[in-house]
């Protein structure tokens, strides 16, 4: 069993409040959940309205499969153009 974890750091330039940030992150997390079989949540910067750190986890039987899913999630989040992707990191256990 392979567990893949990805952290995605985002900058939300257009938000002016935590409410606006929540709306954007809700849209991102809902779309990712609907398109990929992964768990996703905001894991840091909850009190900052222009930054977000998303955590994405996937469980698979193959390293290549888990890496492929997480890479597709990163590309999908970036292609939504709802937030600027500052960095991402993928790890496996």
Phi and psi at residue 50, to the nearest 5°: -115, 10
* Residues 6 or more apart in contact with residue 27 via CB below 8 angstroms: 80, 82
Nearest to 58 by CA among 77, 26, 32: 32
pLDDT tens string 46-89: 989 899 999 999 999 999 999 999 999 999 999 999 999 999 99
Identify the CATH assignment for 2-92 out of 3.30.470.20, 3.20.20.70, 1.10.3720.10, 3.30.70.1120: 3.30.70.1120
Phi and psi at residue 43, to the nearest 5°: -115, -10
51 token code pair: 């930054």
pTM exceeds 0.85 for this model: yes
Q: Label the pairing between strands 2-11 and 51-60.
A: antiparallel
């Amino acid at each position: 069993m392979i567990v893949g974890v990805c952290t995605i750091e985002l900058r939300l330039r257009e938000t002016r409040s935590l409410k606006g940030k929540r709306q954007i992150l809700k849209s991102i997390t809902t779309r990712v959940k609907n398109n990929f079989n992964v768990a996703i949540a905001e894991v840091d910067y909850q009190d900052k309205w222009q930054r977000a750190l998303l955590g994405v986890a996937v469980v698979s039987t193959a390293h290549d499969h888990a890496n492929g899913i997480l890479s597709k999630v990163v590309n999908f989040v970036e292609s939504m153009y709802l937030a600027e992707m500052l960095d991402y990191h993928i790890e496996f256990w």
